[in-house]
């Protein structure tokens, strides 16, 4: 049986994370993750920041986001192994098997396509979902609230179309 953490504990932990992140003792900047993609690409491919001014603009944010993403990866692993005891390796989640198929290739292909569309959307929206939902909404930014509404509407429409078992 999977142990669940109460919703209010998650809320308190998220509030503490945001307070720390925005403070001068933390990153002194909003939470986000999508800037790390071009930052890491610049490092991996040896791109010159003088030739690509955006790389100079994102240098501090990109370096911090890499640390945050590693922390999220290890934090999720530690939580799933020791706290909720729900860790398992699976190329095909049970929901995918239930509504779609047992094909690993199909799952990986759809995951790649969805991730590709998501990163393009994140760049078009001027930030990723974590940046808009966590940082933007906590600051009551109108753009983040519009983004959140569009994401929620997209989730409902995609869920109805992709996981429809009764037909339209």
What is the CB-side half-sphere exposure of residue 6 using CA atoms within 13 A?
3
pLDDT tens digits for 13-58?
Answer: 888 888 887 777 777 777 777 778 888 888 899 998 888 888 888 7
Using alpha carbons, list the distances in angstroms from residue 114 to 36, 108, 124, 162: 18, 10, 15, 12
Tell me the C-alpha distance between 119 and 114, whole Å: 9
Give the tokens for residue 82. 């020791």
The residues, any chain, with a CB within 8 Å of residue 131's CB and separated by 6 or more, are 30, 31, 32, 33, 34
Contact 21, 27 (CB under 8 A): yes
Residue 105 has pLDDT above 90, yes or no: yes
Tell me the C-alpha distance between 16 and 102, whole Å: 41
Contact 125, 147 (CB under 8 A): yes
pLDDT band of residue 168 (cuts 50, 70, 90) is very low
Phi, psi torsion values for 54, nearest 5 degrees: -60, -35
What is the CB-side half-sphere exposure of residue 111 using CA atoms within 13 A?
10
pLDDT tens digits for 53-101?
Answer: 888 887 777 777 888 889 989 999 998 899 888 888 888 888 888 888 8
What 86-91 contacts at long range (C-beta under 8 Å, 24+ apart), as own/partner pairs, is 86/2, 86/3
pTM of the model: 0.66
């Amino acid at each position: 049986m999977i142990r669940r953490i109460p919703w209010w504990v998650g809320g308190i932990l998220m509030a503490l994370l945001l307070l720390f992140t925005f403070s001068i003792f933390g990153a002194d900047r909003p939470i986000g993750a999508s800037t790390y993609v071009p930052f890491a690409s610049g490092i991996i491919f040896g791109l010159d920041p003088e030739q690509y001014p955006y790389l100079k603009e994102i240098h501090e944010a990109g370096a911090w986001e890499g640390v945050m993403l590693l922390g999220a990866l290890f934090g999720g692993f530690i939580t799933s192994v020791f706290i909720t005891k729900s860790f398992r390796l699976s190329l095909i989640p049970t929901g995918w098997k239930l509504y779609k198929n047992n094909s690993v290739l199909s799952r990986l292909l759809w995951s790649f396509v969805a991730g590709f569309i998501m990163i393009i959307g994140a760049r078009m929206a001027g930030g990723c979902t974590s940046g808009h939902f966590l940082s933007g909404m906590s600051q009551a930014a109108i753009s983040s609230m519009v983004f959140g509404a569009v994401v929620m509407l997209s989730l409902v429409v995609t869920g109805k179309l992709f996981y429809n078992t009764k037909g339209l």
